[in-house]
């Protein structure tokens, strides 16, 4: 990864994303390792992590459900959808289910405005959602996560 960029530091964000996918979150050990490999201080790494909402230093569920409530989604039921997900999963914003399967987040625009309301689960998009469609989406992930 480092050889793809003119400076080592430029590899930080993509490297953090890879590490997070591998480990599940950015642990103290991951931060120390990346800081060492990229010639940065741990504080510099933590500063970058704190800037990007998709990076986390806390463990998340296997499926991270991000519900957009920004303007286009809000106008098409995004807030109600978030409330529905919260009720169905029994967790609030930034919460994780006790079985570690799901975490839930309210997020800003994820670029699916034309198909609002939109939800992103890990790297997959789900659009034009209703509560009923969202139930099917969550049930499908649950099935996948418990197989
Ligand atoms: S406003 Fe929700 S995806 Fe853009």
49: pLDDT confidence band, cut at 50, 70 and 90?
Answer: very high
Q: How far is the CA of 68 from the centre of ligand 1 (A)?
A: 6
107 C-alpha to ligand 1 centroid (Å): 9
Residues with Cβ within 8 Å of 85's Cβ and at least 6 positions away in sequence, in order, are 65, 67, 104, 119, 134, 138
Would the pLDDT of 54 be above 90? Answer: no
pLDDT band at 61 (very low <50, low <70, confident <90, very high): very high
Rounded to whole angstroms, the Cα distance separating 76 from 130 reads: 9
Is the CB–ligand 1 distance for residue 75 below 6 Å?
no
Mean pLDDT, residues 62-72: 96
């Amino acid at each position: 990864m480092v050889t793809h960029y003119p400076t080592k530091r430029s590899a930080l964000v993509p490297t953090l994303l890879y590490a997070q996918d591998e480990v599940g979150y950015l642990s103290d050990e991951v931060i120390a390792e990346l800081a060492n490999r990229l010639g940065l201080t741990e504080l510099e790494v933590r500063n970058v992590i704190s800037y990007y909402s998709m990076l986390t230093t806390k463990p998340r569920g296997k499926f991270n459900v991000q519900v957009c409530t920004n303007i286009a989604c809000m106008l098409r039921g995004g807030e109600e959808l978030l409330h529905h997900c919260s009720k169905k999963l029994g967790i609030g914003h930034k919460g994780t289910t006790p079985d570690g399967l799901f975490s839930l987040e309210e997020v800003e625009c994820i670029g699916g405005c034309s198909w609002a309301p939109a939800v992103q689960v890990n790297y997959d998009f789900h659009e034009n959602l209703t509560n009923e469609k969202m139930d099917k989406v969550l049930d499908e992930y649950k099935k996948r996560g418990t197989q």
